Structure 1
Amino acid sequence: MHQEMSLKAQLRAEALARRDALGEEIRIEASLAIADRVAARLTLEPGTIVSGFLPIRSEVDPRPLMMALADRGARLCVPAIVEGRLEFRHLVRGAPLESQGFGTYAPGADAAVLDPSVMLVPMAAFDARCHRIGYGRGYYDRAITALRGKGLSPLLAGLAFAVQEIEEVPAETHDVGLDFIATEAALKEPT
């Protein structure tokens, strides 16, 4: 277990270093390409709840995709960290955002809490099986498990740059595979 964790930490660090090395212009263009790829893949009914995220550091910027989905009638939410778990709060234009630590923001505690049926998922690394390495805190794995515990089965769409792909993610029993991962180069589905 400890050896697997240190391997994950090493793979995470290497993938993040490759992501960090991408120039800002490349990240912007790639984020727009990813937005187009995911928007073309998703069919949404008006009112569908989509959880996105507000990007930190060198992450894919999902905001163009979130706006495209909102234009198609999606209700947007983003994660807030509450007592060590994620709570998906309704994102409303003009509503104030609060710092969540880790360089990210979310609507305040008075925002409606929503259960997403589509989740845009950030990551540090991924493989061809659509397994991901997150940032090591397990927030998304626990949130997805909690939603499934309520009888929900959200579509899990990973967003990453192609340079974040690795040969194989060392999967653990609590890790949740994604339905697909979109990069600027391809849309990958589990193999």
Structure 2
Amino acid sequence: MIDKADLRKNAKIKRKEARDNDGGMAARLIASKIIMMEELDEVKTVAGYVPIQDELDLMVTLKALHTARFPIALPGIVGDDKPLEFRSWDMRSELKDGPFGTKESAEDVVTPEVILVPLLAFDENGGRLGYGGGFYDRTLSKLRAENADLIAVGIAYEGQKIDQVPMDDYDQRLDMIVTEKEFYRV
């Protein structure tokens, strides 16, 4: 079995290299793909994130969705071993500092129908390697139990793709992954 800790270490290096060589174009290309998703033909609440570390900048996508009148939400950490809580965000309200360098909204709690998910590595089968805290796995499991139509979309640089992400029983697969070069449907 592949050691996830080693995989995370290597994935962080690859993601940083992809970001350093990007010049900001990946964020624009991904935004154009997401705004055209057929799954967004009906207005749905879309949860995104404010990027930390070397995560792909999702702010271009969130601005495009907001301009198109999609309700936007951001995740918040409410405790260890708990699912994330999503709060609406009007893109004007000030964000508060959260754990791990995250930014969180203080607005109303909402339930998203589409979640744009950061990651360290992915595979074509929807496997996702995160930071190891399990927050998105717990969240996707909970929300999928409440809404079978929930859509989880991984956001990544193409350089973050690997042959196979090792998956445990509790790991949640993504429904789609969007990179600057490809749109993967699982």
Q: 2:125 aligns with which of 110, 129, 145?
A: 129
* Structure 1: tracts of 5 or more residues without a match: none
Alignment of 1:39-188 (within 5 A): 39-42=35-38, 43-46=40-43, 48-84=44-80, 85=82, 86-108=84-106, 111-188=107-184
Q: What's 1:16 paired with?
A: 12
Deviation at 1:24, TM superposition (A): 4.2
After superposition, give the CA deviation of every residue in 1:141-181 in whole Å (9 maximum; x if it has no partner): 10111112324531111100011111101111111111110
Deviation at 1:100, TM superposition (A): 0.8
RMSD: 1.6
Question: Matched residues in 1 for 2:19 and 2:176: separation?
Answer: 25
TM-score by length of 2: 0.91
1:187–1:151: structure 2 CA closer, same or farther, 3 Å change rule?
closer
After superposition, give the CA deviation of every residue in 1:103-136 in whole Å (9 maximum; x if it has no partner): 110012xx21110000101001001111100110
* Structure 2: tracts of 5 or more residues without a match: none
Deviation at 1:19, TM superposition (A): 1.1
Provide the identity percentage. 33
Question: Matched residues in 2 for 1:23 and 1:52: separation?
Answer: 19
1:60–1:143: structure 2 CA closer, same or farther, 3 Å change rule?
same
Amino acid at match of 1:146: K
CA contact (8 A) 2:18 2:157 kept: no
Count of matched residue positions in the alignment of Structure 1 and Structure 2: 183
Amino acid at match of 2:119: M
CA contact (8 A) 1:45 1:74 kept: no
Amino acid at match of 1:189: R
